[in-house]
């Protein structure tokens, strides 16, 4: 049994895994282009999912399982994977702590106007006439009340916020003060001070946030997107910001990445851009490999207790 991994080298993690599975052959590569003849013998592939195409999948005749070391699978050649009956698991859930922390980095810098103080420092200005807000008692609406959304809500409650979750069915989630279905989104939007999208990239999430949604928000509301860029109509968001229909947008993901240099977001004082890294931390690979190891025990022992088994038809 051969495992090929193309997720970047970490010798300490690699040695630990090899010691746990002495009968498994591991091949650790920096990039997929180094795979060479291993494409014909690999039974398990560990990847971020961005380095696969239909041609390679069809060449890997022995491949039975792909472990995607991220949550999104939208860049996988899904048709070829389904055709070849390959199991796919992902690292869903490992991002919840860094992404929730990132959200509160956004929220606190906005409420406490931290960028303004950095500017004043650079200009040697002592100005205490700054409007500062509390987030205590504010309402946070999290669209995508899964593992990441739940962690955001838990942090929100620590700060004394009222938290509302949106999921597909409206099924109650105990981490939120209230939970509603996606169909009820427009009715809940006017209540929120902070609206956070954690939605994945699927056909059903495409442009869920468009002009209608942005114009239902409070004019003082802040919109945050750390999910996927396809969920947002960027033109409609820019219009809403320009027309004063909401106060600010913090965006970590975009329809096209890298964000084109001529995109109007770059010049807007009402937009804060970060380059799709809210999930990144020094604990990323250890947490992802922890899921892989549990699933590898499952695979070696021919069990059916997969963690994060992906429904290839739904896309998550």
Record the tokens describing residue 290, joined without a space. 């922890």
| Catalytic choice (92, 162, 228, 248) | 228
Residues forming a β-bridge with 88: 66
276 annotated active-site: yes
Antiparallel, parallel or unpaired: β 162-167 and 178-181:
parallel
Marked catalytic residue, from 39, 168, 211, 276? 276
Q: Judging by DSSP bridges, how do beta strands 194-197 and 44-47 pair with one another?
A: unpaired
Q: Is 228 a catalytic residue?
A: yes
What are the structure tokens assigned to 30, written together? 């920096």
Q: Which of 223, 315, 274 is nearest to 98 (CA)?
A: 274
The count of other CB atoms within 10 Å of the CB of residue 125 is 10
Instruction: Give DSSP secondary structure letters for 16-33.
Output: HHHHH-TTSEEEE-SSGG
Distance CA 248, CA 236 (A): 14
Catalytic residues: 228, 276
């Amino acid at each position: 049994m051969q495992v090929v991994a193309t997720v970047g080298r970490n010798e300490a993690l690699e040695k630990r895994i090899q010691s746990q599975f002495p009968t498994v052959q591991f091949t650790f590569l920096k990039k997929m282009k180094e795979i060479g003849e291993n494409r014909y013998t690999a039974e398990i592939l560990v990847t971020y999912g961005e380095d696969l195409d239909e041609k390679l999948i069809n060449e890997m005749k022995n491949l039975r399982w792909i472990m995607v070391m991220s949550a999104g699978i939208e860049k996988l050649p899904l048709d070829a994977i389904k055709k070849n009956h390959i199991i796919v698991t992902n690292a869903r859930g490992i991002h919840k702590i860094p992404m929730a922390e990132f959200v509160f980095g956004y929220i606190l810098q906005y409420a406490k106007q931290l960028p303004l103080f950095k500017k004043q420092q650079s200009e040697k200005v002592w100005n205490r006439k700054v409007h500062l807000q509390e987030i205590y008692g504010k309402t946070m609406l999290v669209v995508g009340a899964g593992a990441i959304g739940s962690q955001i809500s838990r942090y929100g409650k620590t700060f004394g916020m009222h938290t509302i979750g949106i999921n597909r069915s409206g099924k109650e989630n105990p981490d939120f003060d209230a939970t509603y279905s996606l169909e009820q989104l427009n009715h809940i939007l006017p209540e929120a001070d902070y609206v956070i999208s954690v939605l994945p990239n699927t056909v059903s999430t495409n442009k869920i946030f468009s002009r209608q949604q942005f114009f239902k928000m409070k004019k003082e509301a802040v919109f945050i997107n750390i999910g996927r860029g396809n969920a947002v109509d960027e033109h409609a968001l820019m219009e809403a910001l320009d027309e004063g229909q909401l106060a600010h947008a913090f965006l970590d993901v975009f329809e096209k990445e890298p964000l084109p240099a001529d995109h109007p977001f770059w010049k807007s004082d009402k937009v804060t851009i970060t380059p799709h890294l809210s999930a990144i931390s020094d604990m990323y690979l250890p947490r992802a490999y922890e899921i892989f190891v549990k699933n590898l025990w499952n695979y070696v022992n021919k069990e059916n207790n997969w963690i994060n088994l992906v429904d290839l038809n739904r896309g998550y």
